[in-house]
């Protein structure tokens, strides 16, 4: 499609071309995102397999490499002046 061809089109035809172009752009974007996600999953799976093999070679289970996460409170309990006063009472 050339610019001269587009110049000859009426407004309705141009709107249809633009709508179709938008559809194609969205489809291409979705395909790229799906491919990137698939590639990331493959890379992660490969890294995990290497990690498992390395840990197994030294006799450790895979779970040994996963970090333990500390739970963070919601802030509803504790904090503020009350916590300081309670800590002072416990300390004596």
pLDDT tens by residue, 5-18: 999 999 999 999 99
As a whole number of angstroms, the distance between CA 66 and CA 61 comes to 10
Within 10 angstroms of residue 85's Cβ, the number of other Cβ atoms is 10
Within 10 angstroms of residue 74's Cβ, the number of other Cβ atoms is 7
Percent share of the chain, pLDDT over 70: 77
- pTM equals 0.52
pLDDT beyond 70 at 53:
yes
Confidence of residue 91 (pLDDT cuts 50, 70, 90): low
């Amino acid at each position: 499609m050339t610019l001269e061809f587009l110049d000859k089109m009426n407004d309705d035809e141009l709107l249809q071309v633009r709508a179709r172009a938008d559809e194609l752009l969205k489809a291409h974007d979705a395909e790229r995102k799906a491919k990137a996600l698939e590639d990331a999953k493959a890379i992660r799976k490969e890294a995990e397999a290497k990690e498992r093999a390395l840990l197994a070679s030294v006799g450790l289970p895979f779970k040994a490499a996963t970090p333990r996460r500390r739970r963070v409170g919601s802030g509803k309990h504790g904090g503020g002046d009350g916590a300081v006063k309670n800590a002072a009472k416990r300390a004596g």
